[in-house]
Chain A
Amino acid sequence: MTETEILVIGGGPAGLRAAAAAGELGAQVLVIEEMDWLGGQLVKQTHKFFGSKEQYASRRGIDIARILAGELENHDRVTVWTGAPVLGIYEDGMVTAQKDNRHVKIKPQRIIVATGAAEKVLPFPNNDLPGVYGAGAVQTLMNLHGVLPGRRVLMVGAGNIGLIVSYQLLQAGVEVAAVIEGAAHIGGYLVHAAKIRRAGVPILTRHTIKEAQGREVVEGAVIQQLDENWQPVPGTEQQLEVDVICLAVGLTPLADLLWQAGCEMRFIPELGGHVPYRNRLLETTRPGIYVAGDVAGVEEASAAMVEGRLAGLAAARSLGYGGPEAEAYLEDALRQLHALRSGPAGEKIRRGLEKLETMEGVPC
């Protein structure tokens, strides 16, 4: 059995920042990551990030992954396990994981769950044909393994992920036939949209995919206009010749461990689905279990990093680490989060968090 003061589950932007912050205050930390590398989704993000310098704005996600992993090397009380999926959190506070093909037990005093989010899918005829991908899978193929997903892509969803992955496809030399979006407006940052527009890619709002075409693999797609009530407009069907249909229709928190741990959950659509109730310092209803990043509500990576720092500081402080400076760090992290969420781009998140605070969401 491995004992640790703080166990961080997930080595993405939130988890890495949580571990560094807790380590900075002097706590003993174990970071456990299921993949063989640290960084989470950052390792696929070849674009420069938004935000401020506190969240490494202007740096590319791939480089931020390296910076965050490197920060942990400064703390000799921080240990990292990669290639080790966590299997469960039990009633007595024990955590089990798989490591080197063995079933191992971990006994932490505090847990920070930073497991991220999973992609949503979209139901439409033939969506099980090879060639229908999630945007994350396309990024994994291209940016991790150097494999092109196909020659000509229909991107479904004009949020930041749909826009960014379209740009990355263009950079890799893949044609993007169109980006379609069900809503009346582009959901992602308009500067991302402008980048792919000037590369000649049309963005069609109020459009959806009617069906994928093909016998063995994707050979085409039929798209269709939607009216203001999201109903398909007959006669507006267009056939596109594509060999890849890429779905970028949102993320949902990977909250399985929180359910198992008995944390009180709420369904908040604005935050991507079921999220844990928690206090201002990100502690859930199960004392000693904290959350950070997309598992707490789907948001930008910049916010995930700040939440990670906040949870790491709070968990370490609850164990008695850190002097008055810890208080100042906490306030600074809260200030950063507030700033990131305070504009129109944070409106949905604010609405979601407000619902969560007032327990308005559907109780589970």
Chain B
Amino acid sequence: MLERTGVPVKEQLDRVQPPPGHEGPMAVIECFQEIPCNPCSEACTRGAIASFTDINNPPVLIREKCNGCGNCMFRCPGLAIFVIDESYSDTETLVKIPYEYLPLPEEGTPVTALDREGKPVGLARVIKVQQGKAMDRTAIIWLAVPKGLGMTVRSIQVGR
């Protein structure tokens, strides 16, 4: 279980993954613990992360309002928000991950995709490395991963 391993379990992940058949990118918020923290809600200009009545509540994504822009990803101090788009292509799913290691991967190159335990699960293609002043040194890496791995890939291994 999460409290012992640091890895969320299936039931928790099932609750936060985009509904089957959803078109377009959507945030996946893997924040399952009541901790005093609320920047994600303030980061969203569309109001897709419900305002906190108690700062200790875990975030609630209002799916209909989320367009997967990723503005919440770099504001989350826990780096716990990802964006996935199952409709990216017939063979690939888009996964956006927050990333704070150097070197950054190069766009267009393949990297080893890792799961939540850091185990290699296949190859991912780096589509985009998103950086900006507002992101404050948290890069967002856009990855194309084989279909079916959208809820599995959560990190990458670069040049090791």
**Interface residues in chain A, defined as those with a beta carbon under 8 Å from any beta carbon in chain B:** 47-53, 57-60, 63, 170-171, 184-186, 189-201, 203, 205, 300, 302, 339-346
In the complex, whether B19 has a CB less than 8 A from a CB of chain A is no
The complex places the Cα of A51 from the Cα of B77 at a distance, in Å, of 9
Q: Nearest Cβ distance between residue B57 and chain A, in whole angstroms?
A: 8
Q: Nearest Cβ distance between residue B160 and chain A, in whole angstroms?
A: 10
Residues of B with C-beta under 8 A to A186: 3-4, 6
Chain A CB count within 10 A is highest, among B6, B7, B100, B136, for B6
Q: Select one of B6, B37, B38, B43 contacting A194, CB under 8 A.
A: B6
Are B77 and A47 within 8 A (Cβ)? yes
Are A198 and B56 within 8 A (Cβ)? no
Given contacts A58-B77, A198-B114, contact A343 B6 (CB under 8 A): no
Specify the chain A residue showing the minimal Cβ separation from B81: A191
What 1/0 mask marks residues of chain B from 1 to 44 whose CB sits below 8 Å from any chain A CB?
01111111000000000000000000000111111111100110
Residues of A with C-beta under 8 A to B129: none
Are A344 and B34 within 8 A (Cβ)? yes
**Please, could you name 9 A-B residue pairs with CB atoms under 8 Å apart, sorted by A?**
A50-B78, A51-B36, A52-B39, A191-B80, A194-B116, A197-B6, A198-B115, A198-B154, A342-B54
Are B7 and A197 within 8 A (Cβ)? yes
Specify the chain A residue showing the minimal Cβ separation from B80: A191
Residues of B with C-beta under 8 A to A53: 39, 42
Beyond the given A53-B42, A199-B118, please list 19 additional residue pairs across the A-B interface where CB-CB is below 8 A.
Answer: A52-B36, A52-B37, A57-B39, A58-B76, A58-B77, A185-B3, A190-B3, A191-B78, A194-B6, A194-B7, A194-B80, A194-B116, A198-B155, A200-B119, A339-B55, A342-B54, A343-B35, A343-B55, A346-B56
Are A170 and B36 within 8 A (Cβ)? no
Task: Give the secondary structure class of A's interface.
Answer: mixed
Residues of A with C-beta under 8 A to B118: 197-201
The complex places the Cα of A50 from the Cα of B34 at a distance, in Å, of 12
Are A192 and B36 within 8 A (Cβ)? no
The complex places the Cα of A186 from the Cα of B8 at a distance, in Å, of 13
The complex places the Cα of A240 from the Cα of B113 at a distance, in Å, of 27
Q: Select one of B2, B33, B38, B115 contacting A57, CB under 8 A.
A: B38
The complex places the Cα of A51 from the Cα of B39 at a distance, in Å, of 8
Residues of A with C-beta under 8 A to B79: 191, 195
Residues of B with C-beta under 8 A to A195: 78-79
Q: Which are the 8 A-B pairs with shortest beta-carbon distances?
A: A343-B56, A200-B118, A191-B78, A193-B6, A48-B77, A50-B37, A198-B155, A58-B39
